[in-house]
Amino acid sequence: MDHPIFTESVRRIRDWLGDTGLDPVQQEVLERLVHTSGDLAIAADLRFGHGACASGLLALAAGELILTDTAMAAAAVAPMAARTFANPVRSALDWAPALAPEGGTRAATGMALALAEHPRAVVLIGSAPTALERLLELAAEADSPVRPALVVGMPVGFVGVAESKRHLAESPLAQIRLEGSKGAALAAATVNALLRRAWLGR
């Protein structure tokens, strides 16, 4: 499944990282993020919620929907999903109105509508902190059915990003997040790493 160049890259990354103390699946996610970004410093910012990887692996292997905040993120995950468990991959923008509602964003509105249909989706957020905040609001409601199998919370930027990641950290949801302002393609890389591990371990 892996190209020799990728295999050699991962071997070198593992040598550079040294002993991380992560379990094998977490280690694979970290290595994928370093490979994607070229940044060894990511190791210091990566956080795993208890049981998050296991929950994500089970959901992906079961063919659960992968729900992204942008079309670009969906495009980055779709090829790996197609090669493995054929999970449907959709962007929350598929549910969004053509124009942003007053005081809101298309991503947040689309996320709410998507989660109403797919409350157990594997959710990856790499761009829109407003979508992450809306997800957290819905999950916190009394008797809410919204309980994603995994939230990959890696919105990128400088407005609302740190706050949304902090709110995710304070939530009980199964989560993988990246502290700081980095994100974007790294969220997709995280899901791709989990798809690969679930497929190889089937």
If you search the block for the tokens 């060894």, which residue do you land on?
40
Strand partners, 150: 122
68: β partners = 91, 124
Residue 35 annotated to the active site? yes
Q: What is the pTM of this model?
A: 0.94
**Distances in Å between the alpha carbon of 178 and those of 41, 110, 135, 165, 188?**
11, 23, 17, 8, 12
51-58 average pLDDT score: 98
CB count within 10 Å of CB 10 equals: 17
Residue 54, pLDDT > 90, answer: yes
| High-pLDDT (> 90) share of the chain, % | 80
Q: pLDDT, tens digit, for every residue of 124-164?
A: 999 999 999 999 999 999 999 999 999 999 998 898 899 99
Catalytic one among 35, 50, 118, 167? 35
Higher pLDDT, 107 or 180: 107
Burial 146-159 (b: 16+ CB within 10 A, else e): bebbbbbbbbbeee
- Computed over its alpha carbons, how large is the radius of gyration of the chain? 16
Strands (E), the chain: 46-48, 66-68, 89-91, 122-125, 150-153, 175-178
Handedness of CA 118, 135, 187, 191 (dihedral sign): negative
